[in-house]
Amino acid sequence: MTPFGQKMREMRAARGVTQKEMASALGVSAAYLSALERGHRGAPSWAFLQKVLGYFNVIWDDAEELVRIAESSHPRVVIDTAGLSPAATALANRLAAEIGNLDEEALGELNAIIALRTKS
């Protein structure tokens, strides 16, 4: 599941809306919505994201957060380390090999370290 899929599922649940109801209102199939929530589809398009914002009447800061979450919801990430140091390439390869073995606490710790070292 992607961060966007998780957030959309939470929003649907909070409002008591089924995937079928939401899909019909947004003009997509329930299968597409399900795949998006489960992380089997890429990040949503800008047009689809606008439909979701309108459907849930999301505005201002909450809308910006949902856009940010959508932008970080690519289920298949490619890291191009060309031109970076050997250490960067080794880290990218290690992360690719081990990410499935990390628990939520470890993932949070790694995210916190990166956030401290960058402006992202």
Number of domains observed in the structure of the chain: 2
Flag whether pLDDT at 1 surpasses 90.
no
Could you tell me if 26 and 48 are in contact, meaning their C-beta atoms sit under 8 angstroms apart? Answer: yes
- Residue 32 and residue 9 share a domain: yes
Domain holding 105, by residue range, is: 86-117
pLDDT in tens, 55-104: 999 989 999 999 999 988 888 888 999 999 999 999 999 999 999 999 99
Flag whether pLDDT at 120 surpasses 60.
no
In a domain, 76, yes or no: no
Residue with tokens 């998780």: 6
Flag whether pLDDT at 15 surpasses 90.
yes
Dist. CA 37–CA 47, nearest whole Å = 17
Other Cβ atoms within 10 Å of 36 Cβ, number: 26
pTM score = 0.70
- Residue 13 and residue 67 share a domain: yes
Dist. CA 86–CA 1, nearest whole Å = 31
CATH of the domain at 55: 1.10.260.40
Query: Quick one: tokens of 111?
Result: 């995210």
| CB-neighbour burial class of residue 83 (10 A; exposed 0-12, middle 13-18, buried 19+) | exposed
Dist. CA 120–CA 114, nearest whole Å = 8
